Amino acid sequence: MGKVPTVHPMVQTSRWTAAARARESERPYRLFDDPLASALAGPEGFAWLNRMEPVPGFGGPALYVVIHMRFFDDFLLYACRGAGVKQVVLLAAGMDARAFRLSLPPGTCLYELDRPEALITKEEILAQTGVSPACQRRLIGADLGHPSWAEALLRAGYEPQEPSA
C-alpha cells in the first residue's frame, strides 16, 4: 500500500469519516447520500479508510460512521421539522456536509465549530465545488478543549434561550 499523504492531524479523522460517507453513498441501498463526501475526503481520507478497513466490504470502523451519520441525520431533521428547532450546533464539525445535503426548514442556522485549520481546509475544498448551503451556515474556528468556544458560539449569533440541537 502506498504512503498516506501528509495531512494536518486535526483534519485526518474528518477526512477519513468523509471517505466512509462517500463509500456509503456509492452503495445501491445506501443509508444516505452525501455528494460532497468524496471531495471532502480527498485521497488522504480514502488512504486512511483503506488502512483501517480490516476486510474490504465488511465495514470495520467505517460502519460506525455510517450508522452514526444516519441516526443523527434523522434526529436533526426531526428536531428541526418536527420540534421546531432553528439552531443546530455541530461540535468538531470537520468535513461534515449536513448544511449542504439536508433539507432543513427555512430559518434554520447551522453552526459548525472546529479547529480553524479543519474549517479552512473544508472551505478550500467547498470553494472548488461551487455548492451553496441549504440553510444559514456559520463557521466558528475554536479549540473545543478550551472553554472559549462557548463565547465564540455566542459571538456568532447563537441564542442560548432558543431551542437547539
Rg (Cα) of the chain, in Å, rounded?
16
pLDDT exceeds cutoff 50 at 59: yes
Q: Please check whether residue 163 lies inside any domain of the structure.
A: no
Number of domains composing the chain? 1
Where does the chain have alpha helices with state H?
A: 9-26, 37-52, 61-77, 98-101, 116-129, 148-155
Residue 22's CATH number:
3.40.50.150
- The residues, ordered by sequence, that sit 6+ positions from 27 with a Cβ below 8 Å of its Cβ are none
Q: Please check whether residue 71 lies inside any domain of the structure.
A: yes
Q: Please check whether residue 164 lies inside any domain of the structure.
A: no
Q: Please check whether residue 16 lies inside any domain of the structure.
A: yes
Predicted confidence band of residue 51 (pLDDT cuts 50, 70, 90): confident
pLDDT exceeds cutoff 90 at 37: yes
How far is Cα 17 from Cα 19, in angstroms, rounded to an integer?
5
pLDDT exceeds cutoff 70 at 1: no
Q: Please check whether residue 44 lies inside any domain of the structure.
A: yes
Q: What is the mean pLDDT of residues 129-149?
A: 94
Q: Which domain holds residue 151?
A: 9-155
